[in-house]
Structure 1
Amino acid sequence: MSIVSQWKVEHNGTVYEAGVVITGLSPAEEKGLVDQGYAEFVDHIEENFPLTGEAFAKLSAPEQKDVLEANGMTPGSNAAERLAQYTEFLEEQAGSHDGS
Structure 2
Amino acid sequence: MAVDDGVYALTRFELNGQQRLFIVTELAENNGHPLSFAAERIATEILRRYGADIPPSSALFVEHYDPGVSFRGPATAECERFLEWSVTWHNRQAVFIHPKPVSKRGTH
User: TM-score higher than 0.5 here?
Assistant: no
Is the helix fraction higher in 1 or 2? 1
